[in-house]
């Protein structure tokens, strides 16, 4: 078994390596003057089971291309099995056509990774679980929720209500609520007018006097979760927590999250969190053990 890291989240790869009691394999990564990328694996991997850790987070296209080049290099070096470990799968939200003449980019990405030579995928909290079906190779889909739930359970918060920030996230929030002593569920009916612009309309459920925990797969610009939190406060929630596996945190996420509406925002380290020190109520939990155990 050999483990290599792309450049997208080296600290997470190092933690996974530590968990497995091994070192990351040597790899040269260079950029040419024109921006093209060069990668060379610096030890023999002939006949080996190779794991390549690379979340396809921002800059998404660069990190995706880097992953493809790593997979191709391993295939051409006669690795026996190549597992692409993708803690965050970029383009996952482009998982279907919602209008004519659009791409299903999540499927295109699956084709590219398979075509490059991956023989197995390990991904965490896909935006939609159906993306597994875009691959015809073995796929392990793992979750950050045990780590988030353990952390919340240890806080022993009383009068909890778990809230889905949109209708699409109800199954995720329901599973979360079940693990938190069958806490009640509330749902925000969100209407989106444009990409990355969230508009909150209605709350289904009761949050009055309760500690509300918003659960989402990712926080990108922070619009969904902070609009949701404001609505929950208006509806009488005593405290609002937010939990998400992927801290995409595109600007102005940190500004939105630090507006004072959240007691705490809890995310994981599938993506390196930029400007982490600017937001004191942020907790970043590690999923290295979940990935290490699955490997
Ligand atoms: C949407 O369906 C996702 O689950 C997230 O709610 C969304 O992508 C978060 O984006 P933002 O933080 O930009 O509102």
* 49 Cα to the center of ligand 1, angstroms: 35
pLDDT exceeds 60 at position 240: yes
Known binding site for Mg(2+): residues?
Answer: 127, 166
H or E segment to which residue 266 belongs: strand 264-268
pLDDT, tens digit (0-9, with 9 covering 90-100), for 40-97:
999 999 999 999 999 999 999 999 999 999 999 999 999 999 999 999 999 999 999 9
194 pLDDT higher than 80: no
The stretches of the chain forming alpha helices (DSSP H) are 10-20, 60-76, 105-116, 145-155, 170-179, 223-234, 253-257, 288-294
Binning the chain into helix, strand and coil, the percentages to the nearest 5 are 35, 30, 40
Determine the topology of domain 2-142 in CATH: Rossmann fold (3.40.50)
CA 20: distance to chain centroid?
22
Tell me whether 0.85 is exceeded by the ipTM: yes
Domains 2-142 and 145-286 share a fold: yes
Quickly name the fold that domain 145-286 has: Rossmann fold (3.40.50)
Sheet holding 2-5, edge to edge: 2-5, 49-53, 81-86, 120-124, 139-142
Question: Which of 167, 218, 271 has most ligand 1 atoms within 8 Å of CB, for mutation?
Answer: 218
Q: Helix, strand, or coil here: 114?
A: helix
Taking the model in full, what pTM does it have?
0.95
Domain boundaries, the chain: 2-142, 145-286
Pair 40, 57: CB distance under 8 Å: no
| Ligand 1 mean position, distance from CA 2 (Å) | 35
Query: Which of 90, 216, 259 to mutate to test ligand 1, by most ligand atoms within 8 A of the CB atom?
Result: 216
């Amino acid at each position: 078994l050999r483990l290599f890291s792309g450049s997208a989240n080296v600290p997470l790869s190092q933690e996974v390596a530590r968990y497995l009691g091994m070192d990351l394999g040597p790899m040269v990564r260079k950029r040419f003057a024109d921006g093209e990328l060069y990668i060379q694996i610096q030890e023999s991997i002939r006949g080996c089971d190779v794991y390549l850790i690379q979340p396809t987070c921002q800059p998404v296209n660069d990190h995706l291309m880097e992953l493809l080049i790593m997979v191709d290099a391993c295939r051409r070096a006669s690795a026996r099995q190549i597992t692409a470990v993708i803690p965050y799968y970029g383009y996952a939200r482009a998982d279907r056509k919602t209008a004519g003449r659009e791409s299903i980019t999540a499927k295109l990405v699956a084709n590219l990774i398979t075509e490059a030579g991956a023989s197995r995928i390990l991904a965490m909290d896909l935006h939609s679980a159906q993306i597994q079906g875009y691959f015809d190779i073995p796929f392990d889909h793992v979750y950050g929720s045990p780590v988030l739930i353990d952390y919340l359970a240890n806080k022993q918060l009383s009068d909890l209500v778990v809230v889905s920030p949109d209708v699409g996230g109800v199954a995720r929030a329901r599973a979360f609520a079940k693990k938190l002593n069958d806490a009640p569920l509330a749902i925000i009916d969100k209407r989106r007018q444009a990409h990355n612009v969230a508009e909150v309309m209605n709350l289904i459920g009761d949050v009055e006097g309760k500690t509300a925990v918003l659960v989402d797969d990712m926080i990108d610009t922070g619009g969904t979760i902070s609009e949701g939190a404001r609505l929950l406060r208006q509806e009488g929630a005593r405290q609002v927590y937010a939990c998400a596996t992927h801290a995409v945190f595109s600007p102005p996420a940190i500004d939105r999250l630090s507006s004072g509406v959240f007691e705490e925002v809890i995310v994981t380290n599938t993506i390196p969190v930029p400007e982490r020190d600017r937001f004191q109520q942020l907790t970043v939990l590690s999923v290295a053990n979940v990935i290490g155990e699955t490997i």
